[in-house]
Structure 1
């Protein structure tokens, strides 16, 4: 699959703004100002707020024929839900990043300044993305994801996360919840199969982009415009081994070590008989066994051309090691 490169979309006029009012950085005052910017940019804006999980998809299915574009106002989970309902449609998706982490918006270079974002949306500048397609145990149908899937501790943290705490302190709620890992989560080993190659893992992260947990760059490559993923696997939990291998990874271009691996793949499965929690784009998605491949159709997203690194990125390992060493991966 080779999607077309960045291109201008015919200038849209009828915009449907779907808003998750519980998103971490949403407020009625900010919403009113953003809508005013959109109208000043020449858009006719219709606003609809979600009331429950799955409501955004229902809104899309009912009102998609009436819109020239849809603007997703929320975090990564809300955006993924709306994108799933739009999959395969020519109508472009725009982002209003008002969630706690907004990793996808950072990745795509979408402006966080609302006036500049409104100008971008009105311009119709688009990229064609290939989302991921996730199936977990007990799911009736696959779930679309735009940024990443985490299996193991990553999934457990999202499963245990308090919505109220996330609303109150934003992205820091993930760190607070993660502090309970050592005393509560058993860190079971599970299999991760990448294009037929089998690995034992304690944590697996499958990503379309470079960023993880906000502005931290974990992966070297961006696969948003192709049918592929970056895969990180943590194999060992011994602290000294992890420190030694992390230092080697910072100072050299080692992509695979006894402690962890970075590889590329197109089809990822975690078969396992023991259920391991999984999350995608910040929402809990169930447990293993799971299967990941590319979505059956592309998605047109309004965003800047791909000509610069993700916005505000920071190197994940460099940040965690207090800026010691130089990472080149």
Structure 2
């Protein structure tokens, strides 16, 4: 194998893991005969994308060290390029890494890069933006917005926040059209657009999703009664949501989510990071547009 050049872009603020000793981990576990490494730490939101855009033609692999939001930021400039995205999952949920089978330990993820194996995956355009894992409107976007403002990270903190907000949340009205066909018009609890199968932490919002099939999975959850929450959580973490009568899912290449005028300026999340909606949502799959380092 020819030695590859890798640039590690580290977000020191993402997730719960400390990253101070990460250079030592690279020295210990990256085979320098196969992959040479350089490291940059980001200083502000959005810098990872700027670095990846500037450096993508100078490296074989650009490695995102952080959570799904960091991966999203660094992946965007690499779409339809010859540069491979590497993933060291050090976020709160690590949904994309889990779906792709990337080891969750930094040591294991670094050693995976030594194999120099990769695959092409789909990405999804949302209006003028891009995401690689899961986006959504409704309750999950509401929690993503609150979680971004919280000083506490991790799965437990996210779960407690969801429990606090679940009874207060008011569903909003959407009209959903997939490949030109209207599918849904009532007010759902959430609408998730999935490229992979899960949010993170093995919470499978789209159990049947395939990341390289040229299709997105559009998942709709209706508001559930209080007594049903334990069953809902069971289905979510056991990959059996399709058994729930409160859940529907469709696949498509393009979709449109129409917002009532009164519902604009609501939250949306892209790979867990919150944004404000200004317009209707236009979605389109970019088939096999991103090369990602993963198991053979």
Shorter chain as denominator, the TM-score bin is 0.7 to 0.9
Give the aligned CA root-mean-square deviation in angstroms.
2.9
Structure 2 match to 1:271: 258
Task: Give the equivalent residue in structure 2 for 1:165.
Answer: 151
Counterpart residue number, 2:161:
177
1:69-117 Cα deviation digits (max 9, x unpaired): 1111110011111110111111111111111111111110011233333
1:236·1:242 contact (CA, 8 Å) conserved in 2?
no
Q: Higher mean Cα deviation, 176-185 or 68-77?
A: 176-185
What residue in structure 2 maps to residue 310 of structure 1? none
Matches within 5 A, 1:48-59: 48-59=40-51
In the alignment, the residues of structure 1 paired with residue 98 and residue 219 of structure 2 have an alpha-carbon distance, to the nearest angstrom, of 20
Which of 194, 212, 222 aligns to 1:235? It is 222
Contact 1:128/1:225 (CA < 8 Å) preserved in 2? Answer: yes
Q: 1:121 to 1:179 in 2, by over 3 A?
A: same
The equivalent residue for 2:90 is: 98
CA 1:45–1:154: 2 relative to 1, 3 Å: same
Cα deviation code 1:210-246 (max 9, x no counterpart): 2234213343323211221122212344446888999
- Matches of 1:258 and 1:290, distance apart in 2: 26
Give me the TM-score of the superposition, normalised by structure 2: 0.85
Given the superposition, is the C-alpha separation of residues 173 and 246 from structure 1 closer, same or farther in structure 2, using an over 3 Å criterion? closer
SS in 1 for 2:292: strand
Q: Is the 8 A contact 2:89 2:109 kept in 1?
A: no
- 2:234 and 2:80 mapped to 1: Cα distance? 44
Bigger drift between 66-75 and 294-303 goes to 294-303
TM-score, normalization: structure 1? 0.77
2: distance between equivalents of 1:74 and 1:292? 26
Equivalent in the alignment of 2:183: 198
Q: CA deviation at 1:12?
A: 4.3
- Deviation (angstroms), 1:187: 2.0
Q: How much has 1:31 moved relative to structure 2?
A: 4.0
Q: Does 1:146 align with 2:132?
A: yes
Instruction: Report what 1:77 is aligned to.
Output: 69
Matches within 5 A, 1:103-114: 103-114=95-106
Query: Which deviations, in whole Å up to 9, do the C-alpha atoms of 1:179-204 show, x marking residues without a partner?
Result: 33245432223222222223022311
Structure 1 residue aligned with 2:107? 115
The runs of 5 or more residues in structure 1 that have no matched partner are 1-9, 136-141, 306-329
Q: Deviations over 1:235-291 (max 9, x none)?
A: 344446888999999xxx995876331222222221112124210111013225212
Partner of 2:38: 46
Distance verdict in 2 for CA 1:45–1:53, change over 3 Å: same
Alignment correspondent of 1:155: 141
What residue in structure 2 maps to residue 18 of structure 1?
A: 9
Is it true that 1:32 corresponds to 2:24 in the alignment?
A: yes
Q: Is the 8 A contact 1:19 1:74 kept in 2?
A: yes
